Amino acid sequence: MFVQCDKKETQLNCNKEFFKCTKICASICEKTIKFTHEFGKCFTICNDPCRKEYCKKINYDEKK
C-alpha cells in the first residue's frame, strides 16, 4: 500500500439537501441501469452536481 505524504487532508461538509439529492440519484439509477455493476458509475455521474451544489470542501493544514 502506498500513501502520499505531501497531500493535505480534504473533507466535504454537506447539508441535508445533498442527502435528498443522492436519494433521487439512487432511484434514477435503479430504474435506468441494466446491470447491477453499472450502479456505481451511474450514481457517481448523477451525484456530481449534488456534491457541487450542496457540499463545500474543508482543507485541514497539517501545521497547527
pLDDT in tens, 17-52: 999 999 999 999 999 999 999 999 999 999 999 999
The average pLDDT across 48-62 equals 83
pLDDT score at 17: 95
CA 12 to chain centre: 9
Q: How far apart are CA 46 and CA 2, in angstroms?
A: 30
Question: What's the confidence (pLDDT) of residue 57?
Answer: 84
- What confidence score (pLDDT) does residue 62 get? 44
* pLDDT score for 6: 56
Least Cα distance to 13 among 62, 58, 50 occurs for 58
Q: Rounded to two decimals, what is the model's pTM?
A: 0.67
Spatial contact of 58 and 12, defined as CB atoms under 8 Å apart: yes
